[in-house]
Chains A and B, each alone.
Chain A
């Protein structure tokens, strides 16, 4: 079964709205979560690395004030797209690394964001 839950799976909203996406690790602690963005028919681009209890590390070109990341607990990271515009429409995917385990990351099912 799924070990990483991402919610919502699909959201449609008006331009100017802020949208929060949750990424939860189920039954394990994740000190590090990653947020990726995927444009249609393209690969995943890393947006930021989210570390529990500290500020996220953003990749070059990603606006910190636009994409707010909070990793308040060992099982939850949130990505808030503030004042979303049509160009923010995309597929957002999170992944989580299981603490104390040398294993590949587990991915959520993604969130399809459509801004009208």
Chain B
């Protein structure tokens, strides 16, 4: 199993550009989520999905869109990049059942918006 994969690893955008961060998992996990991490702060939840066709907002959803057309993929779209979106982005996945479930993180995408 490859686990959780993310592409690209690094990206530089100009203000106003759009792009999609890719996330895929091969563990047949139902739950997938996107976090951003800024210096001195923990990870903050952007969007999450409990299964194909179902998505919901997290703590900091503004400026981001997601969709979940398959179990494996959960792309994050930046519609019009802003410098405030400069951050490291992590995708995570887990099973969506059981008394407690461990989340598996991807390697991260470092995004800089100039």
A, B: real partners: no
Binding site for A on B (CB under 8 A): none
